[in-house]
Structure formats: structure tokens, C-alpha cells
Structure 1
């Protein structure tokens, strides 16, 4: 038997004794080689620090070290990590993962299971997204909408949308929230400031009606209903003073302009707020306004039916009559008293609820409200003892009560309005006229939405019919055939006797006689 060669000098000392293809290598088993003999028993090269003597006398390796080097039978061989770090740590790299596996590893698992919550009686009639905002503010509207689109949001087992109204006793299923879906902490909003004793007393002095579900206040002129740019004092900021024996603040149901005074309805529960909102949307709630206007209308009992839209260039803060793009708007008016041709006292009932509806309508017919410079300009002011403040007051509100019956309240005039009426010789006691029980308020908001949906549906049908008609016309049109005297089939080239196509040979520059040209005689 021939003697084996000693290990090559460029063989790495950290070799495990096997090559990458699994065959036995000629190198030593460990970093320290044997001395004296080779594996075949022949004398070989010795190294410093190498083991000597019989194998049984060699020092045993640590069990942990041995276990880290052993490989189970049949297991595939794995390379060590390349580089100095991998060689020093002796860590083996795992096989490369697919892109799908990497994506699945990055996707966090759901942080909680689906839960079910029962709708309480105070939440009866509110929208589903409002319920989430009230009871689960950590869940954003975008997430609720996503759950609705994917069918995960359920009410009593049926699919639901954020705009659906819920009822007491129903069960809302909240899907599990994944880690990436958890709502990010919102920016710290400024907390509501504590009201002073004077503000508490002022807010409570405005109350003219209070029960378990509703509060009616007499809003003074100059106090906004809600806050806005450069508006710090408003009714919404005083609602903490109107909690009384309850733990939650009352809720605004409708609004009055800043310079308009009068009856303002507040709901003391979510159920009442939803009930009142539905009453205003269906136009069963009745509101009566008093106004002092310039001049006297030629018709003492009339209806203003002019569509209104936001005036361009006003930033959405002013309305004007727009016959083409305006929303339907109707206001009933009746003359209560007149002061010659100088001014008159009107009772007004808005049958729709557009922004600045009464002010825009009266200005459109040439009788702006006294003191309304925004719509009447300089011509909307009277001289003498008449105040320059706007003379528009919400005198009465009548609305059905959530627990049965009605809320029917009247609000007293502000001081400047009462003084102006007295200065013109009017008797305030004669101002309350009987309400018309049978009125035509026109289409409600729900009717308008239904009509808009039907119009869009009819338009889609019409477009589909036009496309279908064009398709049938194209099918019925005769197909244009080949020119007269020509074959409709594919053009075939010349063939030889064998039936194969002839190939064009090299073109000759030698001119041919006219008789040799094809097609010439």
C-alpha cells in the first residue's frame, strides 16, 4: 500500500475532517494535528503542541464542545458562516428563507381575540361610528371602515357599516386588533379649562327647561354655539356647568349663529341626541323666529322658495341664491306688525335648515334683517333709538320628546330687541301666532338622498344602454369585404412543380427586353 501524502500546507486548521461533498479529507480532525505517524501508520510530519501516544491516552474533549461538533446521521451538512466572526463563533447559518416566509415573520400576530359588547339604552339610535368614538376612542374611524369593508364588523351577526344606527340590546362584534393596527397615541389635546363660579352661574342662568333627556337654554346674542378661530367663549365651553346631577355633559343638537339669540336645545344622553337629530332631519321639529326687517313686504303671508349655495370667494361663510347648484330652501314668513314703510316685525318658520337661511332669504327679497350688515350692508341699519345689533331671535322650539310627549318652549327677547320693538310702538304680547299643524316642508334630507341615489342609478342604466346599443349596431353593420375582382383568401406566392414556394434568386442588373417582362406583350 502506498503511503499517503501529508496534509497540504494551505489546508485550514479549523477543518472538521470532511469536505463539502461529505467525503473524508486528509487533514487532521482538529486544529492540533497528530505527531509521529500518519493515519496509515507510516511515520509522518509532527507539529508543535500535537498529541502523542495512543489514542486512549489522549485527553478527552469537553462534552459541550463535542456536542457542538457532532452531526446526527443523515442530517445535511451546513457550512459555517463566512468571515472572521462566523469562524470565531463557530455558528452555522440557516438555509435561506423565501420572501413569503420573511414577510410572514415580519407580520405581527393579533394582540387580542374578538370581543362582543352589548349596546346600552343610552346609545339607542346613534351611529355605529359614534359608538366607537364614545366607547372605544382608541380605535380610529379608518380602522372601523376597514373592518366594515372586509366584513369583520358585525352587529347581531350581520355585516354593518359605520353609518348604521344601532339599538339598545344589540351585540357589536369587535374584531381582534393586530399589533400594526393599534391606534397610535394622539397628540395631547388641550384639556377643558375649569369654569369659574361666575361662569357656572351664568351658564345655569340661561336654562329655561330641564328634564331627564333635554335642556333648553336662551342663548344671548354675541355668544357662539361652538368654538372656532379666535372664538374662546361659546356654549360648548359652558356645557360642564350644565351637567347637574349627571356624570356626562349635555350634547349640542343644533346651532344658532353667534349674533342670533333664542332657544337652543341640548340633549342629556346619547339616546336623546340621536332622537332629536332624527327629528330635525325628518323636519318634524318646529322652530319659530322673530325678526325686525327693513321696509314691509308686499305679501304679508308668503313663502320664500329659493335654492341656496355657498357664495364663491367668501370662504364658505356666506350664502347666496343659486338656481342651478343651490340646495332647496324654504322659509315661511308672516307680518306681525309694521311701522309704516320703515320697518316691520316678522314671524319666520324655516322648513329647511340651510346655513344662514333666514338671513339670506330676507336679503334676497329686499328686506334684510335690521343690524345684519353681512347680508344687508349699510342699508340694514335704522337711525334713532334702534340698536345696531342684529334683530333675529329664536322665539320658540317644539320637538317630540324621547320618552313621549313634546318639548315646547319659548325664549324671551334680548334687551336690545325688546327696546327696539317698544321704540317702534309694537306690543310684544301680540307676537305669538298659532302654528300651522298641516304644513308642506318639502322633501326631507332622506328624500333628497333617496332621489340622488335613484338619479345616479338611472344615469348608470342609461349609460349601459348606450354602450349596449353601440355594440349591437357594430354587430349588425355589414363586414367590409375585399375589393372587387380580388380573392378574399390569403395571397399565395408562386410555387414550383414540387409544390414548394419559389425562392427569389439574385437580381440581375442586365436589362431584359420588354417582351420578357411579365404581363407585357
Structure 2
């Protein structure tokens, strides 16, 4: 089937962070101001404070941007409140677009949403994380239309990896994508900036990946001991210090490229966890450039491609920083 190219030039959403303005209507339905006395998550604080409003109504107010913390609209249920914070409950429905930080929507329909994630942003929070994530932001985005809307994780990118990733918008689609991932995904291409001059212009790395007790992935020296991982690469550009590679995954294992590049003797630039010694671009040199897949309900093959980050080309114009 011929790939159907999608340009995905969605625009960054804008947002006015100013405090809710007083108006003639506000005098009839004044905003309520509350001072936070002890640490709490935002939803819990609202439920304890707005005792005359039902739980679903409070969630709807959050989704519509009617709750302000220190003058800024907040939509996350678990936003951490601290003593001294001021919470304003606006009686008016404020129809605002919620900003996307470190994200850009490339494509969206009733079943899936494809985004471009910048390096430095977590895909999904761990149990101990409360910071901003791609998942939290896209959840807030879909709840602008309906506060009960949800999104579902299909795959992830590491915090310091930029590029294309996809979420499902209902559980049925999520399960279909995850159960048939190897068949439905037609291409996953990464750009990797690695240390050193790679001698072979193309190559394939195959190993069995395992995870240590310290959550570090590694290649087992024994066949069939772990998950089979296959990585293909082609050299785009190289010098004495770095090589820029196009990397295609036949399997999608955790940290697969990072481990295989270390195995090759050319760790991903900036990836200290897996042997890198340079920090020339100030981030990890890994970018998910292409994601092509069969749409889970429409059947057509969709391809999303992004440009190589400009910082990945800098080491080929200057002496690297150790």
C-alpha cells in the first residue's frame, strides 16, 4: 500500500495567561478567591472547598479553564498547591486554548493523536513524578471539548529524545495498536548523533536485551536470553569525532538504540548512562524522525516525518566540547 503523506504542520497553541478580568457580568457573579493553607493537589483542594458543587462539575470547571492558581489557569487535577497560593474560581466559562509546552500536534482525529515532542519533556510521568508531561498536556487538550475525554499511551520516547509519538483516544484503539504494533507500524526511523567515526557505512546490530536490577538495559552474551532486538543503521555524515546515523528499528525494545550504539563502540552523544563522554549539543543525540503506521480504524498508511534537529549538525562544523 502506498504511504499517504501527512505534512502535520499543526500550529503551536497560544494562550493568554492574564488574570480573569472584572466586568459588569463579574459583578453579578463575582469570582471566588481562596488562600491555600496547607499543601494539597488542586482537585482535592477544590472538592474540600467547593462543598456545594459536585465532583464532575468541579472537573468540568478545571477543563474549561475556570480555575486559576496565582493568576494562571490550571487544568491538571494533581497540580501541587503550596501554602500561600491563591486559588480563584471564575463563575464564567472561559473558553481558552491550553498551551502546549514542548509539544506540537501534527495530526488528530477521533481515534488517534500524533505529536512532536521536544527533548527534555517526559512522555509519561512515573509514580514519583508530578512534573509536566506529554500525557498530561494532551489529556488537558482533549478535555477542552469534553471533560470526560481520555488518551491512552501506545509507545513512549525517552525524556531526552525528541520526535514523533502517538497516543490513542480510546481503549479499543490502544489495544489494537499495542497487540498488532509490529504489523501496523511500517517504519520507525531515528536520527542518532554518536561519538566517533564509524568505519562501516551501514550495518545491523542484533542482540538479546535484558534489564538489570538498577533498570539499565544491556545485551546478554547468550542467545535467547532476553528480548530479541534488531537495529539497522546507515551513515549520513561523519568526521573524526562524531557520526550522524539514520537508524531503523526492526524491533522496539526499551533503550534499544542506546544500548546497540554502545555495543558498537559509538555511544549516542550526551548519553552518559550508556557510555558517552561528550556533551557537545547539550542534550542526548537521539531523534525519532519518522513514524509510519497503518491507521487502526481507517486502514490507510500514514507517514509523519520531521526535520533533523539543527543542533545535530553543529558538531560537523566545529571542534566538539568535551
TM-score by length of 2: 0.63
Equivalences for residues 75-154 of structure 1 within 5 A: none
Q: Deviations over 1:125-164 (max 9, x none)?
A: xxxxxxxxxxxxxxxxxxxxxxxxxxxxxxxxxxxxxxxx
Shift of 1:370: 0.5
Shift of 1:191: 5.2
Which residue matches 1:395? Answer: 289
Q: Deviations over 1:224-263 (max 9, x none)?
A: 1111224522122223332154551222111111111110
Checking the alignment, whether the CA contact within 8 Å between 2:152 and 2:168 is kept in structure 1 is yes
- Equivalenced residue count is 226
CA spacing shift, 1:231–1:353, aligned 2, 3 Å: farther
Q: Secondary structure in 1 aligned to 2:218?
A: strand
CA spacing shift, 1:284–1:294, aligned 2, 3 Å: same
Which residue matches 2:105? Answer: 207
Checking the alignment, whether the CA contact within 8 Å between 2:152 and 2:170 is kept in structure 1 is yes
Match of 2:245 among 346, 364, 371: 346
Equivalences for residues 62-461 of structure 1 within 5 A: 194=62, 197=73, 200-202=98-100, 206-228=104-126, 229-243=128-142, 245=145, 247-282=148-183, 284-311=185-212, 313-314=213-214, 317-324=215-222, 325-338=225-238, 340-377=239-276, 379=277, 381=278, 386-401=280-295, 402-413=297-308, 417-425=309-317
Q: Secondary structure in 1 aligned to 2:247?
A: strand
**Relative contact order: is structure 1 or structure 2 higher (C-alpha 8 Å, sep ≥ 6)?**
2
Shift of 1:330: 0.5
- Matches of 2:118 and 2:306 in 1, distance apart? 10
Extract unaligned runs of 5+ from structure 1.
1-188, 427-521
Checking the alignment, whether the CA contact within 8 Å between 1:204 and 1:242 is kept in structure 2 is no
CA spacing shift, 1:226–1:216, aligned 2, 3 Å: same
Which residue matches 2:56? Answer: none
- Matches of 1:388 and 1:204 in 2, distance apart? 16
Which residue matches 1:123? Answer: none
Shift of 1:388: 2.6
Checking the alignment, whether the CA contact within 8 Å between 2:102 and 2:117 is kept in structure 1 is no
Q: Secondary structure in 2 aligned to 1:271?
A: helix
CA spacing shift, 1:208–1:283, aligned 2, 3 Å: closer
CA spacing shift, 1:407–1:321, aligned 2, 3 Å: same
- Matches of 2:43 and 2:153 in 1, distance apart? 19
Checking the alignment, whether the CA contact within 8 Å between 2:105 and 2:113 is kept in structure 1 is yes
Larger gyration radius, structure 1 or structure 2? 1
CA spacing shift, 1:209–1:276, aligned 2, 3 Å: same
CA spacing shift, 1:291–1:197, aligned 2, 3 Å: farther
CA spacing shift, 1:343–1:309, aligned 2, 3 Å: same
Equivalences for residues 33-48 of structure 1 within 5 A: none
CA spacing shift, 1:204–1:360, aligned 2, 3 Å: closer
Greater share of residues in strand: 2
